[in-house]
Amino acid sequence: MAAYDDRDGKIWMDGAMVNWRDANVHLLTHGLHYASSVFEGERAYNGKIFKSRQHSERLHFSADQLDFEIPFSVDQIEAAKEQVLKENGLTDAYIRAVAWRGAGEDMGVASARNPVRLAIAAWEWGNYYGDAKMKGAKLDIAKWKRPSPETIPSHAKAAGLYMICTLSKHAAEAKGCSDAMMFDYRGYVAEATGANIFFVKDGEVHTPKPDCFLNGITRQTVIGMLEERQIKVHERHIEPGELEGFEQCWLTGTAAEVTPVGQIGDYTFEVGALAREISEGYEKLVRE
């Protein structure tokens, strides 16, 4: 597979389409040094980006949380995403929109005088966890915890929040796992490194309350699907000791879609009927 910096195609940058290999930034870009960057991950199915506008609105929200303003409106971002798909001849694709403080007059922690940049790329991307949709993903338990919302803007989809996710996923992959489940700063079950998590017990669904991590768009979609099926959903704090009593588990996210989980640490789960139903139902929903 070609490296991400060496491909044919076009990337939208600051209002113009540029050749893929020319989509570069300066070494002294503020976002590279201080994580003043926010992003969105989205998927297009049959030429339509699922919940596209919600993603564009959240990108603006995340930028606001990091104290900068994206110089393009939601409508302009929507048009740019469509243009990227068209220019690259894609109908089923992953879309990455990223906004950041660029290089400018400031190169310290403060960066109010630096321009805000925006770029949008798209590429073909298959199942995030390979064949886990059939067999169930295997998860490690991360040593890093999701931080308190008093220490970081935890409801923004901000690049800096993913540093401990990268560390956790690397450690998991070294153990032969697909991903890692993280606890929060209080010791409650939180999420995986790039996906929210759900559990099933006695026909009801339990999912961590997103009070210190991202309330994912896919997460919200799946809760809606469950409620339409009249399945009780408990959004609450989940203690680590409860993992032993859950029967099924799955992950949700734009990249992950809905992926059943077969194991977390020493705990095992059935890839059961409800996990399969929601996974298959989501695949149908996004293509409607």
Active site residues: 157
Tokens representing 230 are: 């009249």
User: DSSP alpha helices (H): ranges in 196-261?
Assistant: 217-228
Q: How far is CA 186 from CA 67, 149, 236, 246, in A?
A: 27, 12, 13, 21
Contact 217, 285 (CB under 8 A): no
The tally of CA atoms less than 13 A away on the side-chain side of residue 201 is: 10
| Sequence-distant (≥ 6) Cβ neighbours of residue 146 within 8 angstroms | 154, 182, 183, 184, 185, 190, 191, 212, 213
Tokens representing 8 are: 């044919």
Grouping H, G, I as helix, E, B as strand and the rest as coil, residue 121 is strand
Tell me how far apart the alpha carbons of residues 256 and 258 are, in angstroms, rounded to a whole number: 6
